[in-house]
Structure 1
Amino acid sequence: MAPADGMKITLVYAPAARELLECELELPQGSTLADALQRSGWLLQHPELGSDAAICCGIWGRKAARETALRDADRVEFWRGLRVDPKVARRERFRSQGAKTAGLFAQRRPGAKWGY
């Protein structure tokens, strides 16, 4: 339960692959997403969180602006941008493996047509 004059918020950020930071804060009612980030102290450790272009943020997996007011028990998440578009990466993998050695076409019954 949150205190009567405040609320509990959870902040989550993955600065690198397989690395996760999680922080629980008690903030006053009416605090914004930017206030939570400032209060956590993560801006000093991870200055990339301060720029809107590099890092997206959201509440419970839904994108939200930094001016969004928070509610009790919200989970604030910060996402890094993708380095490679997943569709492009899949196409490149398929191209490098060859059409007849990847996915459904990797194994076939003797005498069967390709793709069956």
Structure 2
Amino acid sequence: MRIVLMYASAPRTVHEDSLDVAAGCTLEQVLAQAGWLTRFPEIGTELLTTCVWGRKADLDHILREGDRVEVVRLLRVDPKVARRERFVGQGARSTGLFAKRRPGSKAGY
């Protein structure tokens, strides 16, 4: 089976490996076979989580052909909250449809 491993250890730093493994391997076995558990000791901590194609997966998850395993960092801020705070900071009249307004037109057009 062909598996792709992805891990962004820091902003703008991405580690990617492609690996051939036996059928029926678990996520933990693949990480160990690739040497990532020793290369990146933080993978076993609570600060990181593992995903398969963007969906959270436990280390005992059995992988299939072509799966993409991702090791992701936890979010510091909820994206919805961050967007609301940016919107409040920018003001309602200067964003989105209201950014450019033709003279004499209605608001939002």
**Normalized against structure 2, the TM-score is what?**
0.82
**What one-letter code is carried by the residue in structure 2 that aligns with 1:40?**
A
- Give the equivalent residue in structure 2 for 1:15: 9
**% same residue:** 53
Which of 39, 52, 64 is 1:59 aligned to? Answer: 52
Q: How many residues align?
A: 109
- Which protein is richer in helix relative to its size? 2
- The secondary structure found in structure 2 opposite 1:14 is strand
Q: Give the aligned CA root-mean-square deviation in angstroms.
A: 1.9
Shift of 1:80: 1.4
**In structure 2, C-alpha distance between the alignment counterparts of 1:15 and 1:39, rounded to whole Å:** 19
- Give the equivalent residue in structure 1 for 2:67: 74
**What one-letter code is carried by the residue in structure 1 that aligns with 2:37?**
L
Provide structure 1 residue ranges, at least 5 long, that are not aligned to the other structure: 1-6
After superposition, the Cα gap between the structure-2 partners of 1:106 and 1:73, relative to the gap in structure 1 and judged at 3 Å, is: closer
**In structure 2, C-alpha distance between the alignment counterparts of 1:67 and 1:9, rounded to whole Å:** 15
**What one-letter code is carried by the residue in structure 1 that aligns with 2:17?**
C
> Given the alignment of the two structures, is residue 48 of structure 1 paired with residue 33 of structure 2, yes or no?
no
After TM superposition, the runs of 4+ consecutive aligned structure 1 residues lying more than 4 A away are none
